[in-house]
């Protein structure tokens, strides 16, 4: 437990700092994580589907790679995943990102199938091909969504409605160089909203809680997707932590005894509740301009999707007869063990943020 806590104390601030400062740090971390996680996934290819020299009923011994985790397939999968991450970092819009991702996946899929035809000598080639193709698409695609999410346009920031006879202030970031951002932030007077405006306006309580001065400072950073990305990551962290704690304290009813014996319905309910609370609290503090019902919906979605990613990885590890995907992080296992809940969650958050940006 001590190693687990110490690893989290070092790793979590590094990840959050990369999210805050964005490219190139976020891109570098996401690319490295994608390449490592894809190779770990290839190591989890069930031994019955690997070449004969890696085939053992109890699973491959420590340090003995399966037929996909070394050589050309590992290079192919890692390059494929990194290319998706770079596409997410360089794309100027969600549509550009989608087209680039489709092109990369088409090229990667063709290369993977050619390698399978020419070089695969194991059993059940369809299963091996599924691992070879699905790993970079799933891992690389999700981390590409995280990087692309960081660059999504944020909302204009509007303070709560002014009292009758007063004005409202809005801080707008015009299209200028980033070096001039600080000097360009000026309050623009707006007329008081009509009676219908509060029903459609988003909720941002920071000005009321901390004052306009701090709100003005936060508004400087509202023109990108860092708040969406922070919302997704912190919500998943809260959900995972609560699920683990509640499951250890009061968990009695196993959720999936065969796939993940340690996961309980009580822990899952605790994780869902934590995701809901975290999303609402963070959503009204972050300058996302979302309504409470939207935040509740996002919390329910993330609280439901997050354990599905965990269960998917648990099933893959169960098939490979291993406990962890690797030993990169003391007390936590491998890279894939750390990303299991984040991968589907970040994909969902990207879709939500891209939709919000397109309709705003």
Dump pLDDT digits (tens) for 225-264: 899 999 999 999 999 999 999 999 999 999 999 899 889 9
Reported confidence tier of residue 210, pLDDT bands at 50, 70, 90: confident
Tokens representing 306? 């997050």
Q: Which of 64-68, 183-187, 225-229, 345-349 has the highest mean pLDDT?
A: 345-349
Phi and psi torsions of 158, nearest 5°:
-120, 130
Q: How confident is the model at residue 129 (pLDDT cuts 50, 70, 90)?
A: very high
DSSP 163: P
- Structure confidence at residue 204 (pLDDT): 83
Question: What pLDDT score does 48 carry?
Answer: 61
**Which is nearest to 131 in space by CA: 64, 48, 58?**
48
Which comes out higher in pLDDT, residue 1 or 318? 318
Q: Quick one: average pLDDT of 337-353?
A: 95
Position 199 pLDDT exceeds 70: no
Residue 65 has pLDDT above 80, yes or no: no
Q: Which of 133, 141, 148 is nearest to 91 (CA)?
A: 148
Q: How many CB atoms are closer than 10 A to CB 41?
A: 27
pLDDT at 330: 79
**Separation of alpha carbons 153 and 356, rounded Å:** 10
Neighbours of 250 (CB within 10 A): 12
Q: How confident is the model at residue 49 (pLDDT cuts 50, 70, 90)?
A: low
Name the one residue in this structure whose structure tokens are 């999936």: 256
User: Helix, strand, or coil here: 158?
Assistant: strand
Average pLDDT over the chain, rounded to an integer: 82
> Which tokens is 206 given?
């920071």
In whole angstroms, give the CA distance from residue 120 to residue 49.
11
Q: How far is CA 23 from CA 146, 149, 205, in A?
A: 12, 12, 29
Q: What is the pLDDT of residue 87?
A: 97
Tell me how far apart the alpha carbons of residues 303 and 279 are, in angstroms, rounded to a whole number.
Answer: 10
Residue 267 has what pLDDT? 96
CB-CB neighbours of 165 under 10 Å: 6
Q: In which band, very low, low, confident or very high, does the pLDDT at 69 lie, cut at 50, 70 and 90?
A: confident
Q: Which residue has the higher pLDDT, 75 or 5?
A: 75
């Amino acid at each position: 437990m001590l190693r687990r806590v110490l690893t989290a104390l070092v790793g979590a601030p590094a990840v959050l700092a990369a999210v805050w400062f964005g490219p190139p740090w976020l891109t570098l971390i996401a690319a490295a994580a994608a390449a490592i996680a894809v190779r770990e996934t290839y190591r989890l290819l069930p031994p019955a589907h690997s070449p004969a020299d890696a085939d053992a009923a109890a699973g491959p011994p420590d340090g003995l790679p399966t037929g996909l985790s070394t050589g050309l397939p590992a290079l192919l999968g890692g390059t494929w995943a990194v290319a998706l991450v770079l596409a997410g970092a360089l794309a100027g819009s969600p549509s550009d990102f989608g087209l680039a991702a489709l092109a990369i996946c088409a090229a990667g899929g063709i290369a993977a199938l050619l390698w399978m035809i020419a070089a695969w000598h194991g059993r059940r080639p369809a299963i091996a091909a599924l691992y070879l193709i699905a790993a970079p698409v799933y891992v690389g695609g999700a981390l590409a969504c995280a990087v692309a999410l960081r660059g999504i346009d944020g909302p204009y920031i509007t303070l709560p409605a002014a009292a009758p006879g007063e004005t409202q202030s809005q801080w707008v970031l015009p299209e200028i160089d980033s070096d001039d951002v600080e000097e360009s932030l000026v309050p623009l007077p707006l007329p008081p909203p009509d009676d219908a405006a509060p029903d459609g306006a988003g909720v941002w309580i920071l000005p009321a809680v901390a004052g306009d001065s701090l709100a003005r400072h936060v508004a400087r950073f509202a023109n990108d997707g860092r708040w969406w990305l922070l919302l997704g990551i912190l919500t998943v962290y809260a959900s995972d932590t609560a699920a683990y704690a509640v499951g250890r304290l009061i968990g009695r009813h196993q959720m999936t005894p065969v796939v993940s014996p340690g996961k309980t319905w009580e822990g899952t309910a605790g994780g869902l509740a934590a995701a809901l609370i975290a999303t609402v609290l963070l959503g009204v503090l972050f300058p996302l301009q979302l309504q409470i019902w939207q935040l509740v919906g996002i919390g329910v979605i993330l609280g439901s999707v997050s354990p599905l990613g965990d269960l998917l990885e648990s099933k893959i590890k169960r098939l490979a007869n291993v406990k962890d995907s690797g030993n990169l992080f003391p007390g936590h296992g491998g890279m894939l063990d750390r990303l299991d809940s984040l991968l589907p969650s970040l994909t969902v958050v990207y879709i939500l943020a891209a939709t919000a940006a397109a309709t705003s």
